[in-house]
A = this chain, B = another copy of it.
Amino acid sequence: MVPDKSTSRLAAQDWVDAALEAATEGGLGAVAVEPLARRLGATKGSFYWHFADRSALLIAVLDAWLARTDRLIAQLSPITDPQVRLETLFGLVYEDETWAGLETDLLGRMGDPAVADVVEHATVRRVTFMADCLRGMGLSDEAATDGALQGYALWIGVLQLTTAVPATLPTPADRRRFEAATLVLLRNLYPGD
């Protein structure tokens, strides 16, 4: 949170880091110049030296967020068995509690063109990834497309429930059973194919 250099001199990246932290906790709305300055023990004078305005910082945050999807997919790509790849993906999704809040916050801000742009990119990449897995499992193009959409809706929904009503989700003790059930669900997509 507080930057490294004890001699307080901030770089642009320090502002981006703090902004990401704030966004993770309180959504994009929490990325505000004056509160961030307070958090960093600085003033707006510093911020407006490193950035043209608030939207420049938002774009930096959105780019960092988009890169996360690429890293996730890159992390899964080496897995050869498409079904294991999907299962691993869902396992990671269930573990991810830190970033879930920002995920859903962004989905609620599609009115902002900058947000819409980056979220659409991420969505396409994720759905494409899942559809590829399903095709690799032997499903037809149509079935893979529908299945990927359903799987992704499930993904988003679990994220939502994780942040919004965690009490509803299974307790850690039951989570393994729940995840297993999700895999059963995925495995039985289009059983007739």
Residue A62, interface by CB 8 Å: no
The interface residues of chain B lying within 8 Å CB-to-CB of A26 are 111
A149 to B171, CA, bound (A): 12
Residue A114, interface by CB 8 Å: no
Residue A20, interface by CB 8 Å: no
Residue A150, interface by CB 8 Å: yes
Are the CB atoms of B160 and A107 closer together than 8 Å? Answer: yes
Copies of this chain in its oligomeric complex: 2
Are the CB atoms of B165 and A110 closer together than 8 Å? Answer: yes
| Interface residues in chain A, defined as those with a beta carbon under 8 Å from any beta carbon in chain B | 26-27, 104-105, 107-108, 110-111, 119-120, 123-124, 127, 142-143, 146-147, 149-150, 152-158, 160-161, 163-165, 167-170, 177-178, 181-182, 184-185, 188-191
